[in-house]
Amino acid sequence: MKAEREINNKILDKTLEIQESYPELYIFLDEMTVYRNVSALQKEDSPHARLQNYYDSLNEMLNSYILNTKGHNG
Residue-wise pLDDT for 26-50, tens only, equals 888 887 755 455 555 566 678 888 8
Domain tally, the chain:
1
Residue 45 lies in a domain: yes
* CB neighbour list of residue 28: distance below 8 Å, 6 or more residues apart: 61
What percent of the chain shows pLDDT beyond 70? 78
Q: Pick 5 or 48 by higher pLDDT.
A: 5
Structural domain harbouring 21: 6-73
Residue 55 lies in a domain: yes
User: Are the C-beta atoms of residues 5 and 12 closer than 8 Å to each other?
Assistant: no
Residue 1 lies in a domain: no
Alpha-carbon span 43 to 49, nearest angstrom:
10
Q: pTM score, two decimals?
A: 0.75
User: Are the C-beta atoms of residues 7 and 52 closer than 8 Å to each other?
Assistant: yes
Residue 53 lies in a domain: yes
Q: Pick 55 or 29 by higher pLDDT.
A: 55
Q: Where are the alpha helices (DSSP H) in the chain?
A: 2-21, 23-26, 38-43, 47-73
